[in-house]
Structure 1
Amino acid sequence: MMYDVIIVGGSYAGLSAGLQLARARRQVLVVDAGQRRNRFAATSHGFLGQDGQAPEAIVAQGRSQLMQYPTVTWVQDSVIEASAESQGFAVRSECNGTFHAKRLILATGVVDTLPAIEGLEQRWGKHVFHCPYCHGYELDKGRIGVLATSPLAMHHALMLPDWGTTTLFTQGVFTPDAEQQAQLDRRGVSVESGAVRRIFGERAGLQLDDGRVFSLDGIFTMSRTQISPLAAQLGCEFDDGPTGAYLHTNDMRQTSMPGVFACGDASLAAGSVALAVAEGVRAGVGAHFSLING
Structure 2
Amino acid sequence: MDDAIIIGGSFAGLAAALQLGRARRKVTVLDTGRPRNRFAGHSHGLLGHDHKPPLDILAEARQQLARYPTIKLVNARAESVSGAIDDFCVVTDDNESLRARRLILSYGVVDQMPDVPGFIEGWGTSIVPCPYCDGFEVAGQHWGLIWSGPQSHQSVRLFRDWTDRLTVFANGHDIPPDIRADLARRNVPVVDGRVTEIARHGGHAAIVNLDSGPHIAVDILFAHPRNKPSATLHESLGLATVDTPLGIVLKVDERRETSMPGIYAAGDLATPFLPSVTVASSQGAMAGIFAQQSMLA
**Equivalent runs, 1:196-275 vs 2, <5 Å:** 196-202=195-201, 203-227=205-229, 228-270=231-273, 271-275=275-279
Q: Offset of 1:96 from its aligned partner?
A: 5.4
Q: Offset of 1:172 from its aligned partner?
A: 2.3
Identity of aligned residues (%): 39
Task: Single out whichever of 84-93 and 124-133 deviates more from structure 2.
Answer: 84-93
SS where residue 168 of structure 1 aligns?
A: strand
Q: Offset of 1:83 from its aligned partner?
A: 1.2
**Equivalent runs, 1:145-224 vs 2, <5 Å:** 145-164=144-163, 165-178=165-178, 180-202=179-201, 203-224=205-226
Q: Offset of 1:115 from its aligned partner?
A: 2.2
CA distance in 1, matches of 2:247, 2:126: 23
Q: Offset of 1:86 from its aligned partner?
A: 7.8
Q: Offset of 1:211 from its aligned partner?
A: 4.8
CA distance in 1, matches of 2:208, 2:94: 43
SS where residue 133 of structure 1 aligns?
A: helix
- Scaled by the length of structure 2, the TM-score of the pair is 0.94
AA aligned opposite 2:292: H
CA distance in 1, matches of 2:175, 2:19: 48
CA distance in 2, matches of 1:214, 1:163: 20
CA distance in 1, matches of 2:294, 2:182: 47
Aligned to 1:285: 289
Indicate how the Cα distance of structure 1 residues 110 and 90 shifts in structure 2: closer, same or farther if over 3 A, else same.
Answer: same
Structure 1 residue runs of 4 or more that deviate by more than 3 Å after TM superposition: none
CA distance in 2, matches of 1:190, 1:242: 24
AA aligned opposite 2:263: V
Q: Offset of 1:176 from its aligned partner?
A: 3.1
SS where residue 38 of structure 2 aligns?
A: coil
Aligned to 2:41: 42
CA distance in 2, matches of 1:183, 1:66: 50
AA aligned opposite 1:288: Q
**Equivalent runs, 1:81-92 vs 2, <5 Å:** 81-84=80-83, 87-92=86-91
AA aligned opposite 1:260: I
Deviations 1:64-87 (A, max 9, x none): 111210001111011121111585
Task: Single out whichever of 182-191 and 72-81 deviates more from structure 2.
Answer: 182-191
SS where residue 2 of structure 2 aligns?
A: strand
* Unmatched tracts of structure 1, length 5 or more: none
AA aligned opposite 2:8: G
SS where residue 90 of structure 1 aligns?
A: strand
* Unmatched tracts of structure 2, length 5 or more: none
AA aligned opposite 1:167: T
Q: Offset of 1:152 from its aligned partner?
A: 2.0
Deviations 1:81-140 (A, max 9, x none): 111158511111112512111100001111110222111111100111111110111124
AA aligned opposite 1:127: S
Count of matched residue pairs: 291
AA aligned opposite 1:191: V
AA aligned opposite 1:276: A
CA distance in 2, matches of 1:176, 1:162: 24
**Equivalent runs, 1:85-164 vs 2, <5 Å:** 87-95=86-94, 97-164=96-163
SS where residue 65 of structure 1 aligns?
A: helix
Deviations 1:44-65 (A, max 9, x none): 0111111101101111111111
CA distance in 1, matches of 2:265, 2:191: 40
- Scaled by the length of structure 1, the TM-score of the pair is 0.95
